[in-house]
Copies of this chain bind each other. A is one copy, B any other.
Amino acid sequence: MHILIIGAAGMVGRKLAGRLARDGALGEAPVEALTLVDVVPPETPDGFAGRTVLETGDLSAPGTAQKLIEGRPDVIFHLAAIVSGEAELDFDKGYRINLDGTRALFDAVRAAHEADGYFPRIVFTSSIAVVGAPLPFPIPDEFHTTPLTSYGTQKAICELLLSDYTRRGFFDGIGIRLPTICIRPGRPNAAASGFFSNILREPLVGQEAVLPVSEDVRHWHTSPRSAVGFLVHAATMDLSQVGPRRNLSMPGLSATVGEQIEALRRVAGDGAVKLIRREPDEMIARMCAGWAPGFEAKRARELGFVAETSFDEIIRAHIDDELGGRL
């Protein structure tokens, strides 16, 4: 099996490539080749016995998509995107990469399908940003997509394209709406939602972290490990059960900031919790109020997608995967 990961240098892309390399297989099928592409050079994952091809390229540039599918990969993971904040600041860039880039990929696959019957599975990562406030809790699977960002708009449009191209028989597409990834490894970043990870990740290694909102803020989370699990399941599941509604809200854990903190206390003690410094930020608090508190994710659960059921689990997954299993 030949697998293409577009957006392979990002956090989720790296973890997915790492898992495929470790497993040496996708489901039952041995992985013979991995093509990893991103706008910055991706890295060869450790311990992969098969062939790895590393590419740098911009999916929205003419010819890039055609070139990427020349080797007719069996599965395409499309994770590449300009993130929310940047897509809001740079309107043209967001539409070019997130919408036109995705459409270029879909059209290249369609042309290949019409030329030689090529029919890959495409796993597309969408986002909970496709919905916008006011939101019920939990958000049902049938809730409409009324995004309040250009990023969310671009993701919602790509969901529609994916469904239509799949219905037309050009490829076998599945879109998965990822919850916010928590605990995001690495250093604190400037993203407005960064604090959800910061207030756990930093105290776990004895560092201070800033909490800009009140403890009753509720949001929708999943670990990096579960996100990779969703991608693998989406790539291997029987899509004939899914029907024409090809975009699924992934399961996750709905939790308040207070619940996050109590889980930290249980796993790492009062000392860790004391490292969280309250520094209210009105702007972040206002943005938070528009974010998704949680989804029903009934269809995805029925289709076998599995996420954590407590924040203790999410914290332990981070300790295992990022801190060598110990505090």
**A64 adjacent to chain B (CB < 8 Å):** no
The answer to the question of A157 belonging to the interface, with a C-beta cut-off of 8 Å to chain B, is yes
Given contacts A143-B144, A144-B145, whether A150 and B164 have CB atoms under 8 Å apart is yes
Residue from B145, B153, B164, B244 within 8 A of A161 (CB atoms): B153
Take A145-B145, A160-B156, A161-B157 as given contacts and tell me if A150 and B132 are in contact as well, using a CB distance cutoff of 8 Å.
no
In the complex, per-residue mask of A63-94: 1 if CB is within 8 Å of any chain B CB, else 0: 00000000000000000000000000001000
CB-CB nearest in chain B for A151: B164
Find residues 130-172 in chain A having any chain B CB closer than 8 Å to their own CB.
132, 141-148, 150, 153, 156-157, 160-161, 163-164, 167-168
Q: How large is the interface on A (under 10, 10 to 19, 20 to 34, 35 or more residues)?
A: 20 to 34
* Of B147, B164, B168, the contact of A160 (CB 8 Å cutoff): B147
- Copies of this chain, tallied across the complex: 2
B91, A146: Cβ atoms closer than 8 Å = no
Cα A190 to Cα B294 in complex, Å, equals 46
Do A153 and B147 form a contact, CB below 8 Å, given A132-B244, A244-B132? no
Most buried by B among A144, A161, A168, A244: A144
**How far, in Å, is A165 (CB) from chain B's closest CB?**
9
Interface residues as binary, A91-130 with B (CB distance below 8 Å gives 1, 0 otherwise): 1000000000000000000000000000000000000000
Decide if A244 touches B146 in the complex (CB within 8 Å): yes
Q: Which B residues are CB-close (under 8 A) to A266?
A: none
A245 within 8 A of B: yes
Cβ–Cβ < 8 Å partners of A153 in chain B = 160-161, 163-164
Complex formed: what's the CA distance from A237 to B148 in Å? 23
Complex CA distance for A148 and B146, rounded to whole angstroms? 19
CB-defined contacts of A161 to chain B, threshold 8 Å: 153, 157
Q: Which residues of B contact A244 (CB under 8 A)?
A: 132, 146, 148
Collect the chain B residues with CB atoms within 8 Å of residue A145's CB. 144-145, 160
**Whole-angstrom distance between the Cβ of A286 and the nearest chain B Cβ:** 15
Chain B residues with CB under 8 Å of A141's CB are 144
- Residues in B whose Cβ lies below 8 Å from that of A168: 91, 150
Please, how many angstroms separate the alpha-carbon atoms of A144 and B146 in the complex?
Answer: 9
6 contacts between A and B (CB under 8 A): A142-B143, A142-B144, A146-B163, A147-B163, A150-B164, A153-B163
Chain A contacts to B: CB under 8 angstroms: 91, 132, 141-148, 150, 153, 156-157, 160-161, 163-164, 167-168, 244-245
- Sorted nearest first, the 7 A-B pairs with minimum C-beta distance are A153-B164, A146-B245, A144-B144, A157-B157, A153-B160, A142-B144, A156-B160
